[in-house]
Structure 1
Amino acid sequence: MKYIKLGNTGLDVSQLCLGCMSFGDSDIWVHDWLLDEEESRPIIKKALELGINFFDTANVYSLGRSEEILGNALNDYANRDEIVIATKVYGEMREEPNGSGLSRKAIMTEIDKSLERLGTDYIDLYIIHRWDYNTPIEETMEALHDLKKAGKVRYIGASAMYTWQFQKAQYVAEKNGWTKFVSMQNHLNLLNREEEREMVPFCKEENIALTPYSPLASGRLARPWSESTERSRSDEIAKRKYGAMEEADQKVVERVAELAKDKGVEMVQISLAWLMHKKQVTIPIIGGTKLAHLESAVPAVSVELTQEEIEFLEEPYIPHKVVGHN
């Protein structure tokens, strides 16, 4: 495993991050392919054994169960000082008033609940999951700044928003002397490259870490186009992300498969290596429901791509609809 700095910080993180949305309880959340605690623990343990020290979850994943599962495993298997935990706030945790969003009240309530579920007294990277159109960004940024000053979080990040929103948040923080975001968890992969238009250049200019989610397009970039899985057949969210442009996407996937065959590696390694060759991209967030998913992903950190190979992968791409920001 390779370790690099998280953007414009001194924090050392593994070049792959384990995303923990797959860990939880399908009885209480939207996906039927989730792994319960007994099934999740071996994957978390394997990630640690492979050198991954960066773990990403969210309060809304299985309404807190993902945080609980991750916290229990890390407290059993890892030294807290050596691992980096990211979690998120915004999603609806209950249907009552103040049960979601980025108001000061919601943030102050949810941070304490996340800390309890994770079994830790601080979060390394606290991320706003979406843009809150109903709360002034000044209120959100001041609340996040206060969490850092209180020692409950070390750094703050953002996810899935338009560049003008992200830039506005950074401006508000700088104007008031508050903590600025150090990372952007955005939707970026070979099948959806719309972030290259504005968000990627902005983050490169400001040395903000990019930690793309869905780097394999929900598995589409990890297997031949003709193959499918239980998740790909049942995941309605993934279908909404990638179902509209399948004719164009197939051409890209076929090029990933061709290049993987030529280089004698797996498709997943080509897809992740493409992201990691983007100099402004810090860490793709990989999911995993099987040990083999991690074992096949980790070698990607050592896969080298030439400029010609990168252009070969990118050439069939056509503009896509922006998805994930709302």
Structure 2
Amino acid sequence: MEYVKLGNTGLDVSKICLGCMSFGDPKKWIHSWVLDEAASRKIIKKALDLGINFFDTANVYGIGSSEEILGKALKDYAVREEIVIATKVSGKMHDGPNGSGLSRKSILHEVEQSLQRLQTDYIDLLYIHRWDYQTPIEETMRVLNDLVRSGKVHYIGASSMYAWQFQKAQYVAEKNGWTKFSVMQGHYNLLYREEEREMNPLCLDMGVALVPYSPLAAGRLTRDWDSESKRAQEDQVAKQKYDTTEAQDKLIVQRVAEIAEKHHATRSQIAVAWLWQKGVTAPIVGITKEKYLDDFIGALDITLSKEDMTLLEEFYLPHSIIGHQ
């Protein structure tokens, strides 16, 4: 495993981040393909054995069950000081008032709940999962700063928003002497590159780490377009993201296959190697089988040429914005 600094922080993270959205109880959430605790623990243990120290979850994943599974497994298998746990806040956790959002009340309550589920005294990295249009950003940035000052959170990040929103949040924090975001978790892969227009250049200029989700476009970059998997059949969110651009995306997937054959590599290795060469710190890989982790480790040995990069990017056409609220 290789380790890098997380943006302009002093924190060392593995170049691969294990996403934990696939862990949980399918009865509690929208995804029917998630793994139960026994299967999830095997993947977490395998990741640790390979040197992965960066784990990404969210309070809303399985309505807390992902955090519970991750917390138990890390307590059993890992040394807490060596592990970097990232979780998120803002999604709907219960019906009624204050069940979601980024108010002071919601954030403080949800962080305490996450700490309990994760069985830890602190969260290494806390993201705001989405922008809250109903809460002043000043209120949100103030409470995030308070959490950092208290030691319950060490670093903060943001996920899937417009560049103007991210810049506004950073300005509010800087103006008031509060903690600024160190990480941006955006939607970014070979099939969806809209982050290249504003957000990625902004973050790279500011020294903010890029830790994108969906690096394999929900598996579409790893297999022939007409092949099927349980997730491909049942993941309605992924279908909303990618099915409307099928014609152009097919060409990109075929090009990934060609470059993979040239390098005697897998398609997922090419997709991840491309992200690293675009300035990404650590793509978040979500898996449902242990063997895929070995696949990602192999990507560390791949260097794409300028010609490879050009061929991989040649067929991309602008997409509608996906992921922002």
Q: TM-score, normalised by structure 1?
A: 0.99
Give structure 1 regions of 4+ aligned residues with deviation exceeding 4 angstroms: none
Task: Please give the residue correspondences for 1:1-326 in structure 2 after superposition, counting only pairs within 5 Å.
Answer: 1-279=1-279, 281-326=280-325
Distance (whole Å) between structure 2 residues aligned to residue 29 and residue 217 of structure 1: 21
Name the SS for the 2:244 alignment partner.
Answer: coil
Name the SS for the 2:190 alignment partner.
Answer: coil
Deviation at 1:226, TM superposition (A): 2.5
Q: Provide the aligned length of Structure 1 versus Structure 2.
A: 325
Distance (whole Å) between structure 2 residues aligned to residue 36 and residue 230 of structure 1: 15
Name the SS for the 1:245 alignment partner.
Answer: helix
Letter of the aligned partner of 2:21 in structure 1?
M
After superposition, the C-alpha distances for 1:141-196 in whole angstroms (9 at most, x for unaligned) are: 00000000000000000001000000000000000000000000000000000000
Deviation at 1:302, TM superposition (A): 1.9
Name the SS for the 1:127 alignment partner.
Answer: strand
Deviation at 1:227, TM superposition (A): 1.4
Where in structure 1 are there 5+ consecutive unaligned residues? Answer: none
Letter of the aligned partner of 2:178 in structure 1?
W
After superposition, the C-alpha distances for 1:202-222 in whole angstroms (9 at most, x for unaligned) are: 001101000000000000011
After superposition, the C-alpha distances for 1:51-72 in whole angstroms (9 at most, x for unaligned) are: 1000000000000000000000
Distance (whole Å) between structure 2 residues aligned to residue 51 and residue 69 of structure 1: 19
Cα contact 1:248–1:316 (8 A) shared by 2: yes
Distance (whole Å) between structure 2 residues aligned to residue 228 and residue 266 of structure 1: 18
Deviation at 1:11, TM superposition (A): 0.3
Q: Cα RMSD between the aligned structures?
A: 0.6
Where in structure 2 are there 5+ consecutive unaligned residues? Answer: none
Cα contact 1:55–1:85 (8 A) shared by 2: yes
Q: TM-score, normalised by structure 2?
A: 0.99
Cα contact 1:46–1:291 (8 A) shared by 2: yes
Name the SS for the 2:88 alignment partner.
Answer: strand
Name the SS for the 1:244 alignment partner.
Answer: helix
Distance (whole Å) between structure 1 residues aligned to residue 247 and residue 151 of structure 2: 49
